[in-house]
């Protein structure tokens, strides 16, 4: 059973809608991540947070806005998305930031933008 939960699991939205994805980790980790997983592409890291502070932003369009109110919760606010933003959005956590830490993934939110 995963210690990282995500809601909603599925989301369909129009290009003018505003929605938010939620992630919660119950593992006591200090780092949280948002990834985008599209067909035929590698996992794309979007944002990294360490103890609620954003430490990495990989040139993600401003229509994606992350929020990390505490080390257990992570949000991804979405507005005026494009159809090419349709993908599986995965949240992950790790004990600390750094590529040597094992990452624990949530089940993902399957997003469809119409």
Partner 1 sequence: GQQVMQIPQYQHVQEGEDFTTYCNSSTTLSNIQWYKQRPGGHPVFLIQLVKSGEVKKQKRLTFQFGEAKKNSSLHITATQTTDVGTYFCAGGAGSYQLTFGKGTKLSVIP
Q: How far is the CB of 12 from partner 1 (least distance, A)?
A: 18
Which residue number, 80 or 105, has a Cβ lying nearer to partner 1? Answer: 105
Residues that bind partner 1 (CB under 8 A): 2, 40-43, 45, 48, 50, 55-56, 58, 90, 97-100, 102-108
State how far the alpha carbon of 25 is from the alpha carbons of 30, 61, 67, in Å. Answer: 10, 25, 14
Q: How far is the CB of 44 from partner 1 (least distance, A)?
A: 8
Q: How far apart are CA 97 and CA 62, in angstroms?
A: 23
Q: How far is the CB of 43 from partner 1 (least distance, A)?
A: 4
Which residue number, 83 or 99, has a Cβ lying nearer to partner 1? Answer: 99
- What burial class does residue 34 get, using C-beta atoms within 10 Å of its C-beta: 0-12 exposed, 13-18 middle, 19+ buried? buried
Q: How far is the CB of 34 from partner 1 (least distance, A)?
A: 12
Which residue number, 8 or 14, has a Cβ lying nearer to partner 1? Answer: 8
Residue from 26, 25, 32 nearest 46 by CA:
32
Taking the C-alpha atoms of 8, 13, 15 and 19 in order, what is their torsion angle to the nearest 10 degrees? -30
């Amino acid at each position: 059973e995963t210690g990282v939960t995500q809601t909603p699991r599925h989301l369909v939205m129009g290009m003018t809608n505003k929605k938010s994805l939620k992630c919660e980790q119950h593992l006591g980790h200090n780092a949280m991540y948002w990834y985008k997983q599209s067909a035929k592409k590698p996992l794309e890291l979007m944002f990294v947070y360490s103890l609620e502070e954003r430490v990495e932003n990989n040139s993600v369009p401003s229509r994606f806005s992350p929020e990390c109110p505490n080390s257990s919760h992570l949000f991804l606010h979405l507005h005026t998305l494009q159809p090419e933003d349709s993908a599986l959005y995965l949240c992950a956590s790790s004990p600390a930031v750094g590529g040597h830490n094992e990452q624990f993934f949530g089940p993902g939110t399957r997003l469809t933008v119409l």
